[in-house]
Amino acid sequence: MAITGQRALLEELKRSAWARTSPVGNHANAWEFRKDRLGNLVRYGDYGNRKSPFGWELSAIEPRGLVGSAEGDNLQALHWRATAARTDAPVLMSQRAMSRVVEASPVEGVGSAA
């Protein structure tokens, strides 16, 4: 694939992921500044810029190591610090965290004294 084709594909993937971000209320430029799914403020022009407080990267919604892919519908715009903290390895929960999940479970009989 030619470099211009790769750039066009990257731009398409970026725009697709950017469309999944949330607008920042009352901001003058609602397209340029958005919030990622974790609530981090990101700026479209700072894609790939890890020196910017608003930098972001493309990140898989469903990690590729589990069931996800690198296709556009599985990509999200995520602040670079959140991306750096993520791994594709399965998350190992502590007993305390697991107990919170069980307690909050809406499934009948799970986490309750049934």
The whole-angstrom separation of Cα 22 and Cα 35 is: 5
Provide the sign of the torsion angle of the four alpha carbons 15, 43, 7, 10, taken in this order.
negative
The first and second tokens of residue 19, run together, are 């469309």
The whole-angstrom separation of Cα 95 and Cα 69 is: 30
H/E run at residue 10:
helix 3-18
Helix, coil or strand: residue 87: coil
Per-domain boundaries in the chain? 3-104
Helices H / strands E in the chain, number of each? 3, 5
pLDDT at residue 64 in the model: 58
* Residue pLDDT tens, the chain, 114 long: 577 888 888 999 999 999 999 988 876 778 899 999 999 999 999 999 999 999 999 988 876 554 544 555 788 999 999 988 875 433 444 444 444 444 443 444 434 444
The first and second tokens of residue 108, run together, are 């009948």
Please say whether the beta carbons of 12 and 71 come within 8 A: no
The first and second tokens of residue 54, run together, are 């608003």
